[in-house]
Each structure stands twice: as C-alpha cells, then as structure tokens.
Structure 1
Amino acid sequence: MASFSERLSELIAARGVQKKELAKYLGISYRNLRHYETGERKPDFDGLLKLAEFFDVSLDYLVGLSDNPERK
C-alpha cells in the first residue's frame, strides 16, 4: 500500500490540483505542503481531515491503510 506522501502526490497529480491553492485551503505554506509530499512532515489530525474532505476520500485511503478511496 502507498504511504501518505505517495498517496498525496498521486491525488494532487490525478486531480490537477494547484499546490498553492491547496496549501491556502489547508492554511499552511506551500513549503509545508511540499514537506508533506516528500514525507519530511505529516499534517496534524485537522489537516488530515481537510485533505480527505478536499479530495473526497477516506482517511484510511489517504494515509495508505486502504486502497479503497470511498468514504463510508
């Protein structure tokens, strides 16, 4: 299964998301978002919830515990 950083990068690429806009939505800097993608840092719980909501995927999928993106 994919790691959080891999899954985040895949979602950003697949959805054609502008990283600066995503960072603004999350209330973080572009640099912090890049750290999430490289695995240098991980978001806090609220950040994970915002990401799951933004991409409309489950938390399990986002963090790599499942390959099923559907939210229940």
Structure 2
Amino acid sequence: MKLRELRIEKGITHKQLSDDIGVPVRTISRWEKGESDMLLKNAIKLAEYFEVTLDEFINF
C-alpha cells in the first residue's frame, strides 16, 4: 500500500485527509512511514476515499 503516493497524486495534505476521514494527522503519517498498522475499517474508508478497490489499495 502506498498511501503517500495516492495522497500526493490527488494533491491532498495530511491535514485535509485527516479531516476528511476522521483520523489524527499523526496516524496518517505513521501509516505512510510504516510505523503503524491500519485497521481494516480504515483501509476500506481510504479505498473508498481514493476511489480504488480495497485490493488495489492494499496492493498499490
């Protein structure tokens, strides 16, 4: 999963993504750096947000 690449591709800041999906900015940063694992519900929410399938999001 390349959350950072999807976020940058869409021109979205950490803060904007944080506000849009309801998770702290620090959490997004940790996900992008691989410092924290993501719950399935958040992966689903992000896949929907970026308009990709869950499979595409996980294997991006």
TM-score (norm 2): 0.87
- 1:43 aligns to what? 38
How many residues are paired up?
A: 60
Q: Of 5, 14, 17, which aligns to 1:10?
A: 5
Of structures 1 and 2, the larger Rg is shown by 1
- 2:27 aligns to what? 32
Point out the structure with the larger helix share.
Answer: 2
Unaligned runs of 5+ in 2: none
Q: Deviations 1:25-61 (Å, cap 9, x if unpaired)?
A: 2221100100000011122111011100110001111
Structure 1 distance, partners of 2:37, 2:12, is: 19
> What percentage of aligned pairs have identical amino acids?
32
Query: What's the secondary structure of 1:63's corresponding residue?
Result: helix
Structure 1 distance, partners of 2:22, 2:3, is: 16
RMSD in angstroms over aligned alpha carbons? 1.2
Unaligned runs of 5+ in 1: 68-72
List, as ranges, runs of 4+ consecutive aligned residues in structure 1 with deviation greater than 3 Å: none
TM-score (norm 1): 0.75
